Amino acid sequence: MGIDAYDLSVDMLDVHADRNTFHRFDKFNTKYNPVGESTLREIFIKTDNYVGGKYFAEVLKEVLSDLEDSKYQHAEPRLSIYGRSKDEWDKLAKWALTHDVWSPNARWLIQIPRLYDIYKSKNMVKTFDELLDNVFTPLFEVTNDPSSHPELYRFLQQVSGIDSVDDESKHEYVHFDRSTPTPPGYKDAENPPYNYYLFYMYANLTALNAFRRERGMNTFSLRPHCGEAGHVNHLLTGYLLSESIAHGILLRKVPVLQYLFYLTQMGIAMSPLSNNSLFISYQRNPLPEYLQKGLNVSLSTDDPLQFHYTKEALMEEYSIAAQVWKLSSCDMCELARNSVMQSGFEDKVKIHWLGPNYREEGVVGNDIHRTNVPDIRVSFRHEAHVDELCNLFRVQHLPHQAE
């Protein structure tokens, strides 16, 4: 590459998103290649390469060590499963166990990129069903017989959910309706639409979770990137099929869906700094509006390598949000509480952070000594929500019933 280590700088790496990436997801994707070289991406930020993902593991272990040192930060980093072959899960599990990439402060989210059209063009898969088989068959096998994939069995104990990722602004040439082939018959060269991907991921995940629950194993939530760009039906699909979503900035254009998200208190993990570089300026981000209305929103980092400038990426999100939107300490603590609630950490971890009654509604579920959210804020949120539900269903209730 003709680069001397002495001359190497952060600017030369060119991995930070800038104004040239705004509404240009294609240019943003090139930022994953340090110095514009995809080879460096393969070497340093991939789990499956000629060195067995050694360098990526070392970088991740530094990040996890910083989390443990901070004591008050937990994370759910994303690792990729592509669906090109059935041994991807075993390779990922072997990488994690071989390099001891584990921390009590982290759980893994597995992201599945929507790249069927690319695999199809390279003859890696023949049908969409083959992609689904590659993703889910190993999970059913290890659930049925843990000894069939012993490393995967151990790795999955640290996995909290499944994510669906890609550029939502891509034009969708195929519509999902009665005429759309089922996965075994889907042989088109075009990529299936967003709702097609999510529906069949949801169907498989629901069956898998029922099986794992019956076997006494941990289950996985579906938490896709949703509503960052693209058509409004992405949000409709996410609302119907997901446990929570990431981004959701397009909800600002759909009041009816906003109302449904409020009624069900469905989680929305938002990343304003990421959105600022890709789809919407920081000042126009709807997060403060969502928070004021009582939607279940939280602050989250997204691609810290591309969007943040310090190793305290989450602190950047909170500090900038507090300054720009003049959030109170009560607002900040409510966002943090929502973040814990939305996460996929085990009950015992959430009890440690939020208190033993955190699942209860209203003031009963709030331990102010742990959450630092005043009871009056929690009471207001709960009463407003109950009143809205009662108005909607025309239920008469006494004042004490809203407590």
Per-residue pLDDT tens over the stretch 324-349: 999 999 999 999 999 999 999 999 99
Can you say how many angstroms the Cα of residue 80 is from the centroid of all Cα atoms in its chain? 12
Question: Tens digit of pLDDT for each residue in 266-315?
Answer: 999 999 998 888 888 999 999 999 999 999 999 999 888 777 788 888 99
Q: DSSP labels for 291-357?
A: HHHT--EEE----HHHH-SSS-HHHHHHHHHHHHHT--HHHHHHHHHHHHHHS---HHHHHHHH-TT
pTM above 0.85, yes or no: yes
Annotation says 171 is catalytic: no
Q: DSSP labels for 37-96?
A: -HHHHHHHS-SSSTTTTHHHHHHHHHHHHHHHHHSS--B--EEE--SS-TTHHHHHHHHH
Question: Tens digit of pLDDT for each residue in 103-113?
Answer: 999 999 999 99
| pLDDT band (50, 70, 90) for residue 176 | confident
Catalytic residue among 247, 352, 385, 400: 247
| pLDDT for 9 beyond 70 | no
Q: What is the pLDDT of residue 403?
A: 47
